Each structure stands twice: as C-alpha cells, then as structure tokens.
Structure 1
Amino acid sequence: MIRTLKHGLLWATLAVAVLTTLTQLLQLYGLAGQNRLVSQLLAGKDVGADELATSAPEVRMARAVYLSQHQRYDEALATLNLLLQQTGTEAQAYTRYNLGNLYLRQAMEKAQAGKFNEAMPLLGLAKQAYREALTLDNQFWDAKYNLEVAMRLLPEMDRITSGDDADDLSQKTQLWTTLPGFPRGLP
C-alpha cells in the first residue's frame, strides 16, 4: 500500500513538472514572438495590425514609437490613446511620456518651419503629457528632462510670435540661439 502511494505520488510530481515545463515553454515562445516583432520595428519594418491584436502592450508601444519616428503621427496618437485605456500605472506613465514626445516632436517641426501658431498648442499638449507622466511616477527622470525642454521652448515662442521683431528670418534663428546648448529631448 505504501509502495503504491509512493509510486502514485512520484507520477503526480512528474506530471506537475512536465505541465509546468510546457507552460513555461509556451510563455517563452510567446516572448520570442514579441521580441521578433520589436526587432522588426527597430529594423525599420512596420508590423501589421493583425499581428498586434494579440501582442503585449510593450509591442504596441514600440509600434507607436516607430510610427512617430516615421512622421505617421495620427496612427501613433491612436495607438498611444488605445494604450492609455489598457495599461497599468507604470505603463501609463511611460505611455504619457511617449505621447509628450510625439507632441514635442511635432511642435519642434512646426517651429522649425516657422509655424509658431501651430506649434504652441502642440507644445502645451506635450507639457501636459509630461506632467501627467510625472504625476504617475514622480521619479521619471526622462519626463522631467523633456518637460524642462518644453518649458524652455515655450517662452521663446511666445516672445517671437508677439511681433517684437519685424524680420521673420531673424525670428527663426532667435528661437534656437537664445537657448545655449539646446537639448533635443530624450527618445
């Protein structure tokens, strides 16, 4: 009787070990697939929406960054807004940081093109997104840094758009030359 009990316990332990191993292998396979998608995005190749349907939020975040870097701002904004509805507190802070980066990148492009009236609202949205990220995680150094960049840029844009100087070409150059060592923000 004891021998049969030991024998059954041994088989049950083996079955649990095999089941645990299979579960871990399936999780590892899923992670490898997600890493493949992120690597594909880093290599400059877009990932289809059908592949993103079952992927982790981190893969969607990587795609949003990819879309932003390729000036596909509307798609990146839609992806980030979807992530805001689905993720936890830490991921939301990172999502809001990337949302701020998206707005800041657009604002800087508009400012460099001389479209200050279009750049100012985008800069305000970037500052708001960075502040929201810092509300969720007050130790988020990258958000603090980029908020400082946005705050340093806005007063200069206000001064230039107020009409103090008449020459448009000198106005463009003044925006960037008054900020010594102007940082471009973090990724």
Structure 2
Amino acid sequence: MNPARLVILASTAFLAAGLIAAGWFAARLFVDRHDNALIAALVSGHDLATSPQDPAELTFARLHFLTVRDRLDEAQPLLNRLAADPDRRLAVAALYDMANARLRLAIDHLGSNRIDPAVPLVRLAKEGYRRALVIEPGFWDAKYNLDIAMRLVRDFPQLDVEGEEMPPEAAKKLWTDLPGIPRGLP
C-alpha cells in the first residue's frame, strides 16, 4: 500500500473519530443543560415531576424540594432510589437531607407539645443518620445531628413480655421514650 494512501486513510479515520466524539459531546452538553435547567427550576420553587430514568442529581433536587416543603411521603420513594444508587455521595446527601427534614418536623411537633407524632419522626431521623454514617463514617454533621436526635428520644431496651402481664415492679423501671426537651443549663 502506498504511503500517501495510508496517510489519507489514517487522517480520514481520525477525522471521523473526531466528528463522532464532537457529536457525542454536543449531545451530552444538551442533556446536561436540560437537566441543569430542570434543577434550577426546582431550586427556584417550581414543582416538577421526575422519573426513574432521570439522573440521580435531578432526583436529589426533587427530593430536596419535597423535604423542604415537608412532603416526606412523596420524597420517600426518591430517597429509596437514591440510597440504592451506586453514587455514594448522593446517597449520603439524600439520607441526611431526609433525616434533617424529619428531625425538623419532630422539633416543630415538640414545640407545640405534640409528643405522639414526634417520637416516630425522631426514630426515623436517627435511622437515616445511621444509614448515612454506615456509608460515610466520617460525616461529622450526621454524627452531630444523630447526637441531638438521640437526646430527644433515647433508645432504651424494651422488656419482651409476650402473652404475660408485666409485673408491677418492672413497670416502674421502664423509662419514657421522650424525656423532654432540655432547657437552659443543667
């Protein structure tokens, strides 16, 4: 084969590869700009639905939109999807965001002296912080918030008495779930 023809074939191949790469990057840029526009719309307060095919970043933006507005039931499926995502960074952020929303809502309930709905919210917040810490053990903010949640509703061992009545002395030894909100200095 003649060297001039070889140079022409090689340069044609490089040109074709360059055109294919440029087309792929242009398509990727279009998709990223579209996703960024949707995320910006969610941040600015416009509610947009997402689908399971959407990128994890867009799903997280929707989850954050819902948690800020205390729509936790709608946010839970998004959290489940993000927690199973291979991107650990977004999984931790989603677990932390949802736990913060639950703790914030529980503190609002406690401020209004509604203890019954606050206890399960605090327990779910603690579970979220623990799951985030399993994925990223050095996440200091999750450790701190878990400590606050642990002070609100303590985890004490429960007596397992199935089918039998609890003896009166055992009933006196049980702790309440919610010791109260600490006020001021000890």
Q: TM-score range by the shorter chain?
A: 0.7 to 0.9
Following superposition, the deviation at residue 61 of structure 1 comes to: 1.0
Deviations 1:126-178 (A, max 9, x none): 11110111111112222122212222333597223xxxxxxxxxxxxxx3634
RMSD over aligned Cα atoms: 2.3
Partner residue, 2:157: none
Partner residue, 2:67: 68
Write the mapping of 1:4-43 to structure 2, written as runs, cut at 5 A: 4-43=5-44
Write the mapping of 1:77-96 to structure 2, written as runs, cut at 5 A: 77-96=76-95
Q: Please state if 1:57 is matched with 2:56.
A: yes
Following superposition, the deviation at residue 119 of structure 1 comes to: 0.6
Write the mapping of 1:1-187 to structure 2, written as runs, cut at 5 A: 1-49=2-50, 52-154=51-153, 158-160=178-180, 175=181, 177-178=183-184
Partner residue, 1:169: none
Larger radius of gyration: 2
Paired residues, number:
164
| Contact preservation (8 Å) 2:132, 2:142 | yes
Question: Match for 2:100: what amino acid?
Answer: N
Q: Which runs of 5+ in 2 are unaligned?
A: 155-175
Following superposition, the deviation at residue 90 of structure 1 comes to: 3.4
Quote the Cα distance in structure 1 between the aligned partners of 2:40 and 2:65: 11
Question: Match for 1:28: what amino acid?
Answer: L
- Structure with more of its chain in helix, by fraction: 1
Question: Match for 2:123: what amino acid?
Answer: G
| Contact preservation (8 Å) 1:130, 1:147 | yes
| Contact preservation (8 Å) 1:41, 1:62 | yes
> SS at the partner of 2:80?
helix
Quote the Cα distance in structure 1 between the aligned partners of 2:30 and 2:121: 41
Runs of 4 or more, structure 1, over 6 Å off, are: none
TM-score (norm 2): 0.78
| Contact preservation (8 Å) 2:102, 2:124 | yes
| Contact preservation (8 Å) 2:110, 2:118 | yes
Deviations 1:9-50 (A, max 9, x none): 00110110111111111111111111111110110111124x
Quote the Cα distance in structure 2 between the aligned partners of 1:11 and 1:122: 64
Quote the Cα distance in structure 2 between the aligned partners of 1:158 and 1:100: 18
Quote the Cα distance in structure 2 between the aligned partners of 1:98 and 1:75: 14
| Contact preservation (8 Å) 2:107, 2:118 | yes
| Contact preservation (8 Å) 1:116, 1:157 | no
Following superposition, the deviation at residue 65 of structure 1 comes to: 1.0
